[in-house]
Amino acid sequence: MKGAEGRPAGGAGRGRAALGGLAGLLAVRPWAWGVLVVAHAGAALELQPVATWFYPLVWWSYVAIADGVLARRGTPLLSSWGRTVGLAFASWAFWLMFEAINLRIADWFYVGVPELRPVRWVGISLSFATVLPLLLVTERLLDGRVRRDAFRVRPLRLTRWPRGAVQVVGALFLVLPLAWPDYAFPLVWGFLPLLLDPANHRAGRPSLLADWERGSARRFVLLLLAGLICGLMWEAWNFLAVGRWVYTVPFLDRVKLFEMPPLGFLGFPPLAVAGYVFLSWVDGRWRRARPGFRAVAVALTLAAGLLTLNAMDRDTVAASVPRLSGVAPLDGVARAALRDDGARSVKALAGLSDEGLAAVSRAAEIDPKVLRDARAWARLARLKGLGNANTARLWALGIRSTGDLARQDPAALAARLGAPFTERRLRVWVRAAGRAK
């Protein structure tokens, strides 16, 4: 009887503890929780500008909440504004390296971004600035949950030659994807740890090789786990966002979890390792550098980053968020009439049923054929972030509906459209059109 009575009591106690833990978590930086709620509501309803800025809103909120939990433990990552700005700048530079590489390997592109270049660059930069903070704050959260003697390994004995061999492999991991991007692209995620961790070890900076010399793989395992956790959240939140990335990974583009091919999630654990190693390398060199060298390093990093952003505008940013003002079949009078009669956005126009279209046509006094063309345009523009500018290119070729697009051969269409359209990118849109029919 006591045991039977004790089980519910124990279950109730655990339930109360769980609720108490949840209440305590929600009490950490309530403003960040509020931003999370607003961002999700804005994304679900496609309310601008929240929907376009969803990504930096949710990720900076996550970083703030997670760092608030760490602060309660006495181990915050963002211990000052200077530390926060420095880490954000390092993160911006870190991810732009991969964007520069992607100009060659072309494994992803961006849609739904702001139209104005200065606004777009600010949004992109705020997003890239979250990469290292979110990886490292997640690793620290895990660190507080794993005992110090976990993941012991046989100590390594390292000399100069093994370190050099690791760096040679790292150089190959960079060169091979640039030379053969369709086949060697997965190696990209491993080049930074292989190149920089031996350098960190040689200079006495924190390094994974030094950990293994002491017989511990704990930090390495925690970084891998943090990368996988962040990767799952990255892709889930990217799936909800209006401004988002789309993958065109060779051979792996048919089956996807969110926007990512399942095997692609294996790239996130080494990315976290790369982030830790990169930051250790930057931090160590920064501390020992003279003020003049620091200023030059910042200036050169800014210049390289801006050049990369400019190149991304040309090759990687595929479409801005579509607006009603860019729907070519409508003139200014028709757009104004549509806004007055309920179709205030491209989303609303694309969602009109035949009955709704007829009703709006009568109420707004718009020719039904014009409105049908406008709806077809809107549905194309919203297809996987295709956007108004790309829809205009397709429209000029006589491709005026998702059905028309679904019947296209991506390679032949790429040849007709020319740069920056590629067969891989068009394959994404043609398949999406096939599913939308």
Render pLDDT for 343-363 as a digit per residue (tens, 0 to 9). Answer: 788 999 999 999 988 988 888
Does residue 4 surpass a pLDDT of 50? no
- Calculate the average pLDDT of the chain: 91
Q: How far apart are CA 354 and CA 363, in angstroms?
A: 14
The reported pLDDT for the residue numbered 237 is 94
The reported pLDDT for the residue numbered 9 is 56
The reported pLDDT for the residue numbered 340 is 75
The reported pLDDT for the residue numbered 345 is 87
Q: List pLDDT tens digits, range 123-164.
A: 999 999 999 999 999 999 999 888 888 899 999 887 778 889
Does residue 336 surpass a pLDDT of 90? no
pLDDT band at 191 (very low <50, low <70, confident <90, very high): very high
Gyration radius (Cα) of the chain, Å: 25
The reported pLDDT for the residue numbered 250 is 86
Q: List pLDDT tens digits, range 22-61.
A: 666 777 889 999 999 999 999 998 888 899 999 999 999 9
Domain ranges of the chain: 78-315, 324-436
Q: How far apart are CA 246 and CA 248, in angstroms?
A: 7
The reported pLDDT for the residue numbered 6 is 47
